[in-house]
Amino acid sequence: MAAVELCGLTKRYGSLAVVDRVDLAVEHGRLVCLLGPSGCGKTTTLRLIAGFLEPDEGEIHVGAERLSAPGAVVPPERRNMSMIFQSYALWPHMTIAENVGYGLAVRRLGKGDIAKRVSEILAVTQMARYADRHPAELSGGQQQRVALARALVVKPETLLLDEPLSNLDANLREEMRFELRRLHDEYRYTTIYVTHDQQEAMTAADSIVVMREGRIEQQGTPTDIYERPATEFVARFIGGTNILRGAHLGDNRVRCAGTTLQCGQGEAAAKGETAVSIRPHEIRLMQSASGAGGNRVQGRIERQVYLGPTRDYLVRLPEDATVRVVADKELDIPAGRDVMVELPPASCRALPM
């Protein structure tokens, strides 16, 4: 295993910087997720790390070795990396055992060593009983396990995953998120995982790198990213949030939605406009419409949707503001009813504009 370091990494297509001066250090044995919407540069960053693309600026180091720089790129086959693609890329004419052992055969290991290592990794990935089958005879989740086994069997220094679960249905995706984490904990390869799915990132990652327009917007543990977003973009992208825009009054007080909110998190702008973020499940609804003030404001239910364990509300506040509220299923308030909306100070996070 080795640490991976990106220094000022840049990739342009014409005048567009798809990856723009990215600095990132991935400690050995850590699983880091590059997370962001389509077009943010995460897959291009992964392809640069893999050696498929040449950077226009910056360098990539693995351990003490420089692998990429403008005009000097170590080819992918000499990087001791394994990459798992969205499509799995399994050979349809080979058995599962032959697919998994292919990389070892290319490295000219003996047949006995190949058989031993293939048998071991198929057992770990719970695919041993399918060794003599062909990919077309397996489900999507089973094919994903084979792709993982093939990537791990060669004992790479670095494991790269590009949206590996995007082709699976919802139930299989959930199962494989935990399986990926289990295998990482067992082997502790340095892993860089690209996804647009925040639940995958929250489940699998030691650290999440949120990307936007080719740059890193924020990096931190899943807890840091979710509970302490640094920008409105991160707050909206990770978990969804309500954003209320207003004016900073000093002492982390923000005037918005017809009231003055005390913000227990973040630092409001020194002056002028500020945004306040609060998650839907942190807002409280009360059927009494009296007692405004102190982070409470009167609102009106515009929509209610029953979701089984919870109810999802859209509430209209003064100054044409709206908030989404997730409440317990027992709280059943019909549309059109006036309510009191409480936004607890500890849950209100002031964000820079």
Query: Last residue of a domain, which of 227, 253, 273?
Result: 227
- Residue 162 has phi, psi (to 5 degrees) of -110, 100
Its sign, for the CA torsion 41, 47, 53, 58, is positive
Mean pLDDT, residues 44-67: 95
Per-residue pLDDT, 44: 96
Angle ∠(290,295,301) on CA atoms, nearest 5: 55
CATH of residue 200:
3.40.50.300
Q: State what percent of residues in the chain have pLDDT above 70.
A: 96
Highest mean pLDDT (candidates 1-15, 94-108, 167-181, 201-215): 201-215
Per-residue pLDDT, 68: 96
Tens-digit pLDDT profile for residues 147-196? 888 888 888 889 999 988 877 777 778 888 888 888 888 888 899 999 99
In the chain, what's the furthest Cα-to-Cα distance? Answer: 79
Which residue range is the domain that position 195 belongs to?
4-227
Q: Kindly state whether residues 164 and 27 are assigned to the same domain.
A: yes
Mean pLDDT, residues 22-32: 94
Q: Kindly state whether residues 223 and 257 are assigned to the same domain.
A: no
Q: Kindly state whether residues 276 and 165 are assigned to the same domain.
A: no
Mean pLDDT, residues 129-158: 89
Query: Last residue of a domain, which of 171, 203, 227?
Result: 227
Q: With respect to residue 286, please indicate whether it lies within any of the assigned structural domains.
A: yes
Q: Kindly state whether residues 138 and 256 are assigned to the same domain.
A: no
Q: How confident is the model at residue 266 (pLDDT cuts 50, 70, 90)?
A: confident
Q: Kindly state whether residues 183 and 270 are assigned to the same domain.
A: no
Q: Kindly state whether residues 212 and 107 are assigned to the same domain.
A: yes
What does the mean pLDDT of the chain come to? Answer: 90
Q: With respect to residue 235, please indicate whether it lies within any of the assigned structural domains.
A: no
Its sign, for the CA torsion 104, 105, 110, 115, is positive
Q: With respect to residue 237, please indicate whether it lies within any of the assigned structural domains.
A: no
Q: With respect to residue 236, please indicate whether it lies within any of the assigned structural domains.
A: no
Per-residue pLDDT, 310: 95
Q: How far is CA 249 from CA 79, 83, 170, 253, in A?
A: 55, 51, 45, 5
Q: Kindly state whether residues 177 and 260 are assigned to the same domain.
A: no
Q: With respect to residue 215, please indicate whether it lies within any of the assigned structural domains.
A: yes
Lateral strand order in the sheet of 215-220: 81-84, 158-162, 190-195, 31-35, 207-212, 215-220
Per-residue pLDDT, 178: 86
Residue 106 has pLDDT above 60, yes or no: yes
Per-residue pLDDT, 250: 80
Its sign, for the CA torsion 324, 325, 329, 331, is negative
- Give kind and range of the element (H or E) at residue 24: strand 16-26
Q: With respect to residue 232, please indicate whether it lies within any of the assigned structural domains.
A: no
DSSP state of 353: -
Residues 39 and 214 sit within 8 Å (Cβ to Cβ): no
Per-residue pLDDT, 125: 86
Query: Last residue of a domain, which of 227, 260, 290?
Result: 227
Nearest to 62 by CA among 206, 189, 220: 189
Tens-digit pLDDT profile for residues 291-326? 666 789 999 999 999 999 999 999 999 998 999 999
Q: Kindly state whether residues 124 and 43 are assigned to the same domain.
A: yes
Tens-digit pLDDT profile for residues 68-77? 999 999 999 8
Q: How far is CA 224 from CA 40, 52, 209, 294, in A?
A: 21, 32, 11, 27
Q: With respect to residue 137, please indicate whether it lies within any of the assigned structural domains.
A: yes
Nearest to 299 by CA among 284, 318, 312, 281: 318
Mean pLDDT, residues 223-229: 91
Per-residue pLDDT, 339: 94
Mean pLDDT, residues 267-295: 79
Q: Kindly state whether residues 91 and 176 are assigned to the same domain.
A: yes
Q: Which two tokens stand for residue 126?
A: 């719970």
Q: Kindly state whether residues 198 and 314 are assigned to the same domain.
A: no
Number of domains in the chain: 2
Nearest to 186 by CA among 155, 140, 142, 220: 155
CATH of residue 287:
2.40.50.140
Q: Kindly state whether residues 48 and 192 are assigned to the same domain.
A: yes
Q: With respect to residue 321, please indicate whether it lies within any of the assigned structural domains.
A: yes
